[in-house]
Amino acid sequence: MTQLYALGIGRGTQNTQGQWLEVFYPAPLLNPPAELAAAILNTVGAGTHAIKNTEQGQRLSQTLRTARAGEQAAILDGFCADLPAAGQTVICALPTDSPPADVPTAYLKLQLISHRLVRPHGTNLEGIFATLPNVAWTNEGAIDAQELPARQHKARAQGTPLQVQAVDKFPRMTDYVMPSGVRIGDARRVRLGAYLGAGTTVMHEGFVNFNAGTEGPNMVEGRISAGVFIGAGSDLGGGCSIMGTLSGGGELIISVGKDCLIGANAGLGIPLGDRCTIEAGLYLTAGTKVQTIDTQGRSTGAVKAKKLANQSDLLFRRNSLNGTVECLPNRAAIALNKTLHQNN
């Protein structure tokens, strides 16, 4: 049977050398229907293919309609009306989940995640940093970082200064995907490749890296590093820090279970189970020595925090009279602030 791992019909930007900078896929597909996969493989074939002119686009669009892929055909029609143009139309057909070898493939995979078609860690992103070029994200769209000075001079000479909002390998997610039921206070702080479940609010102080995210509903006012996933009903307080594997978390893959509360300005370096709380302002690393306390309030010894990884119903706090970091049974299982989740 004819199969594809993923398929995207998109439009992107190239630099002056004809190298891809980025690609937008309005409706990427994971495991597209066999009939559509066959239509693609029998015409353009597997891999990344630029559509060269309007006529080629129209022929392919007709093929897609015949294969009962009307939505994809409509996308292609929209992107082919003015070819050849500055923006290039591309078809990316991936036979398998291999590491992303070119820019259109990398962008397709990142958009699969942000469209919630796969979860973080659910698609192979090996080597994506080397694949992605460094791009200046401007009010005139994507510009190769190395071609920026010439463009800036030209724009100024025309009296319309260029506005450079970021120079980064990753764009903001919202320019590509806006998942339903989500609010984002400052879109610059959510990278393409983030996964935001329905009911997620990312406030202005929140941040979500690629290949990371939330199950939803969640209130995110802290920073979710690459690779970290947050379970349903958990809240990240303002300015809190979740360590990633690249940024100090080491070998442990950090995650947060359901119905947890990480306090404002707190920090986390171990994976948490469900219904755990970290007090505002406490930074718990894997190596933090923690005094454990039982339900009777008696000390039961000291352990490194990593020994408590993935356990549920724990409350971590720093005793404000003697400075000891303590771990107690979390009796006040968070009555999740419903107003907070609906509002903010």
Residues 6+ apart with CB under 8 A from 52: 83, 84
Radius of gyration of the chain (CA): 23
Sites for its own copies among residues 77-106 (CB under 8 A): 78-79, 81-82, 85-87
Contact call for residue 34 and its own copies (CB under 8 A): no
Q: Tell me how far apart the alpha carbons of residues 243 and 308 are, in angstroms, rounded to a whole number.
A: 16
Q: Which residues pair with 302 in a beta bridge?
A: 291
**Smaller CB separation from its own copies, 10 or 273:** 10
Q: Any idea how long the chain is?
A: 344
The residue range among 41-49, 50-58, 97-105, 323-331 that interacts with its own copies, by the rule CB under 8 A, is: 323-331
Contact call for residue 342 and its own copies (CB under 8 A): yes
Sites for its own copies among residues 188-227 (CB under 8 A): 188-189, 191, 204-205, 207, 221, 223, 225-226
Nearest 5°: the CA angle 19, 24, 29 is 120
Give the number of residues in contact with its own copies, rule: CB under 8 A: 99
Q: Tell me how far apart the alpha carbons of residues 288 and 284 are, in angstroms, rounded to a whole number.
A: 6
Q: Tell me how far apart the alpha carbons of residues 197 and 180 are, in angstroms, rounded to a whole number.
A: 8
**Segments in 115-258 forming alpha helices (H):** 128-131, 148-157
CB of 116 to its own copies, least distance (A): 14
Contact call for residue 335 and its own copies (CB under 8 A): no
Question: Are the C-beta atoms of 328 and 293 separated by less than 8 Å?
Answer: yes
Q: Which of 269, 272, 308, 330 binds its own copies (CB under 8 A)?
A: 269
Identify which of 133, 128, 88 has the alpha carbon closest to the alpha carbon of residue 109: 128
Site string for its own copies, 296-315 (x = CB under 8 A): ------x-------------
**Smaller CB separation from its own copies, 283 or 313:** 283
Catalytically active residues, by annotation: 221
Contact call for residue 253 and its own copies (CB under 8 A): no
Sites for its own copies among residues 115-144 (CB under 8 A): 129, 134, 136, 139, 141-142
Contact call for residue 247 and its own copies (CB under 8 A): yes
**Smaller CB separation from its own copies, 31 or 342:** 342
